[in-house]
Structure 1
Amino acid sequence: MKESLLILAAALAMVSCGGNAQQKAATAGTQQTTAAAPDMHNAETSLDYLGVYKGTLPAADCPGIETTLTLAPDGSYALHLKYIDRDSEFDEKGAFTVKENLLTLTPSEGGQPQYYKVEENRLRRLDAEKQPVTGALADNYTLQKTTE
């Protein structure tokens, strides 16, 4: 008996909530049914992710890596890395793609791709499995958009 009552209550809840997905509008004596549009906002369609990003990313053997990443309108990128307290600088170029909120950097000379999560005016570095870096320094794995 309780099982039947529970099933009936669940069915009534689903029917009563389902009416919000469609709205009926009367126009000039006719009725139109319009469905609610799904939210299609993501970094690819909503954020202005092109431009220059800068930050100091953590490093295991020096105080950090000054990083400058430029995303160009033609789908190319330029990455400049300068190791603090060392005489080491590296430049990398390649192509990038953005799918939803995932930015993928693919080096033109081969090597492993790098991943970033696109956020409002910043990029958050992800690990090789496309997951956010965790731990005490997790907040330091971001690059801020500049006005350059």
Structure 2
Amino acid sequence: MKKVMMIAAIAAALVSCQSKGTQNNDTAMDEGVMTVTGNDSSAVAVYEGILPAADGPGIQYVLSVDSIGPDGESGYTLVTTYLDADGPGKNKSFTTTGKKEMIQKDVNNKKKTAIKLTPDNGEAPVYFVVVNDTTLRLVNDSLQEAVSDLNYDIIQVK
């Protein structure tokens, strides 16, 4: 499990370094994020997408989640980059880590499967509904989607 978390941390650090590079007036986004497999058959899946923001062009989400390890625990690293947060071309990134949990709930008489991300720092959990094999959608704690035509999906990258 420690190997998987170390690999996830390295992947997040690489993504974070790439995001910090965008703060120097470089607005190009790098799509090159990887899926890593550890020696213990646990895999790290990486999802990425730009979601809507109230006061800017968007928030880039890069989520690295690991499969359940031998001890039954699994974790995540989430890097959120607020695009143009400090002016044009000046992004601001935040990284959180914590426990990943798969949950199921009935929403409007439909069973939904979601990932609950509980940060280690005590902040409120974040929820993503599993849309399909490669897509997660940001939702509220009741697993309800935003009433909007905006895109709240993050897509698994290879």
TM over 0.5: yes
Give secondary structure in 2 for the equivalent of 1:105.
Answer: strand
Matches within 5 A, 1:1-148: 51-73=45-67, 74=69, 75-86=74-85, 87-100=91-104, 101-120=113-132, 121-137=134-150, 140-147=151-158
Say what the alpha-carbon RMSD is for the aligned residues: 1.6
Q: Percent of counterpart pairs with the same letter?
A: 32
Give, in whole Å, the separation in 2 of the partners of 1:146 and 1:111.
Answer: 27
1:50 deviates by 5.4
Q: Which runs of 5+ in 1 are unaligned?
A: 1-48
Q: So what's the TM-score if we normalise by structure 1?
A: 0.61
Give secondary structure in 2 for the equivalent of 1:116.
Answer: strand
Code of the aligned partner of 1:122: T
Which structure has the higher relative contact order (CA within 8 Å, separation 6+)? 2
Code of the aligned partner of 1:97: E
1:85-105 deviation line (CA, Å, top 9, x unaligned): 133110000001112412100
1:13-36 deviation line (CA, Å, top 9, x unaligned): xxxxxxxxxxxxxxxxxxxxxxxx
Give, in whole Å, the separation in 2 of the partners of 1:128 and 1:105.
Answer: 11
Code of the aligned partner of 1:142: D
1:103-135 deviation line (CA, Å, top 9, x unaligned): 100001101111111122110111133211111
Aligned residues: 97
Give, in whole Å, the separation in 2 of the partners of 1:144 and 1:136.
Answer: 17
Q: Which runs of 5+ in 2 are unaligned?
A: 1-42, 86-90, 105-112
Who wins on radius of gyration, i.e. which is larger?
A: 1
Runs of at least 4 residues off by over 2 Å: none
